Structure 1
């Protein structure tokens, strides 16, 4: 009986150990076997590989598979490999496709081979632990959002021989230095000045730079869409007069933004431009602004008043005077209780307030006053004329009676 019980205990312990080993492997799984890969032959020598086991911690992409040379990391190849920490890519690869390493949240390092020409859309998006990337001389295209959400990124390094890109102090620029493409989210320092010669801040360039408190962009003439989105520590900024449009959520979710000097020639304020700028208490809209698009100032809970001129001819849905019930994005849209629009009557801004039941301090315009004066003068003239006719008729009647 004791032997049976002992055997059962040993069996139970063995099963428990096997279970624990499966849950917490002592040695990382390594993807270096052709059986762990599938591929697609696109013709013309283009062979794209995809990893079939998404649980690996390290991976080595084969240089050849079924005797064919691998030239492409396929779309979604490592997408969702949350355990992946490192990967080795052969120098035969020339393209890293869209979403190739999407949300590989534990990927700590990667070497981009010297023959890679294209880094695809959101190729390394969500690689939270990736701190540095070296762009080889061969790369001629880095597509949008390639390094979005790389919250630990401290620096980009570009080979000096590259003819399309360069880095300045870890910041990624085009080769001429005219366009700032990506600012590393975790780069040290709380302030940054765009260098002389740079005239454009690209779309999403500073997106998610949560530690930057001030950014000097005095030299730029173009400001890309969502350029400063989710810069949660940004407190103030001056936008030069060369900028005429705010496209998209340029300052969306800049939750610490207290003040902004608007460009004097600004024409439009994009959708969600100041979305959830909780600390923004006042803002001066230039007279040149003609359009304020959907959600432009949505959830700006501290903004109590805004002045709009008659030049504003378009105001989008929830553009002004709305927030969430609980101050977060989980609530329902409601009107800000103390929000006031200062606008003239008979204007688009005044009509927006009437439609949305928002308080408006609209006064009588000079044009309206002029009309009232003209109407008043005409009315007085008519009254005087009628009175004169009546008096004349009465006098004439008296003479006839006499």
Structure 2
């Protein structure tokens, strides 16, 4: 027997109702256009900020978000070049990719404990940002998350973070120190390329330094590679022209080409180790110790 249309579940209608509800609760570009002034308030009726909602709104200086906001879409505030103040609600669960890209006058921001990831390019080119508070429940820092944050002076990587992404802190000229959690396993490709680091204390569980991880960090003078490190890819510390001494506590299994500058850096390692052989075969200055502690 042929079924009548009424016999089928009306899934499309249910989805449509949910879709409309989400749309009503989303603060969009059209909502922004209705408002004028240097301060914009997003009311309690909204739970989401749409993709690119405030993109390139260059006049706004202050944005007040309702405590009901749980989601900020990709590039939501990108190019808000005059924005200097914004509150992130306690219920916020996600900040989208590139959400604050090129908010160059934003000086500080506090990430709520409900946000678990810093997505790629979230704060890229926030050149005025001097400080950011990252809570310990953040699990990942995405590619280029803080690229060209030229005023950022220090960073504390969250305890739950296991990997720092590609170019996360690249071109952070004022970044003098970085604090790494014990559980960090990998520092990504060019993660701190041309940053202003003057001191570096790598954690005792770190395993991998990817290609160019600290390439051209001119402020570094001495580093210690922990026993846990198993792999150092090419150019990890190349171009660190003032790096005079690199001490290996262990003996990494994989060593890429041109890890250090040949003429500038003395490598301290155990005699007869793989590092010792690598350095002598590649023309590095070597200082041996029977057991580097």
Q: TM-score range by the shorter chain?
A: 0.5 to 0.7
Q: What is the aligned partner in structure 2 of residue 122 from structure 1?
A: 75
Shift in CA distance, 214/95, structure 1 to aligned 2, threshold 3 Å: closer
Native 8 Å contact 2:59 2:82 kept in 1: yes
Q: Distance in 1 between matches of 2:94 and 2:118?
A: 15
> Corresponding residue for 2:7?
none
Report deviation, 1:140: 4.9
Residues of 2 paired with 1:86 and 1:171: CA distance? 19
Q: Distance in 2 between matches of 1:137 and 1:346?
A: 52
Q: Which runs of 5+ in 2 are unaligned?
A: 1-14
Alpha-carbon distance in 2 for matches of 1:71, 1:192: 26
**Aligned to 2:78, what secondary structure does the other structure show?**
coil
TM-score, normalization by structure 1: 0.48
Would you say the 8 A contact 1:96–1:120 is kept in 2? yes
RMSD: 4.9
Q: Distance in 2 between matches of 1:123 and 1:317?
A: 41
Bigger Rg, which one = 1
Select which of 254, 279, 292 maps to 2:232. Answer: 292
> How far is the alpha carbon of 1:294 from its aligned partner?
3.6
Q: Residue 361 of structure 1: SS of its match in structure 2?
A: strand
Query: Which deviates the most, 205-214 or 241-250?
Result: 205-214
Larger RCO (alpha carbons 8 Å, 6+ apart): 2
Partner of 2:263: 337
CA contact (8 A) 1:314 1:348 kept: no
**What is the rounded CA distance, in whole Å, between the counterparts of 2:275 and 2:138 in structure 1?**
33
Aligned to 2:277: 350
Distance, in Å, in 1 between the alignment partners of 2:116 and 2:65 is 27
2 CA distance for matches of 1:246 and 1:94? 33
3-state SS, counterpart of residue 225 of structure 2:
coil
Distance 2:243 2:77 in 1: 37
Distance 1:147 1:254 in 2: 21
Per-residue Cα deviation, 1:36-79 (whole angstroms, up to 9, x for no partner)? xxxxxxx95989xxxxxxxxxxxxxxx9xxxxxx98659xxx9x
Residues 315 and 73 of structure 1: CA distance in aligned 2, closer, same or farther (over 3 Å)? farther
Distance 2:93 2:160 in 1: 25
Partner of 1:359: 284
Structure 2 distance, partners of 1:148, 1:211, is 15
Aligned partner of residue 350 in structure 1, secondary structure: helix
Structure 1 residues not aligned, in runs of 5+: 1-42, 48-62, 64-69, 79-84, 156-169, 322-335, 367-402
Greater helix fraction, Structure 1 or Structure 2: 1
Separation in 2 of the partners of 1:120 and 1:299? 38
Task: Identify the residue that residue 264 of structure 1 maps to in structure 2.
Answer: 204
- How many residues align? The count is 259
Are the structure 2 counterparts of residues 279 and 95 from structure 1 closer, same or farther at C-alpha, using a change threshold of 3 Å?
Answer: closer
Deviation of 1:338 after TM superposition, in Å, equals: 3.0
Instruction: Tell me, in whole angstroms, the C-alpha distance in 2 between the residues paired with 1:364 and 1:261.
Output: 21
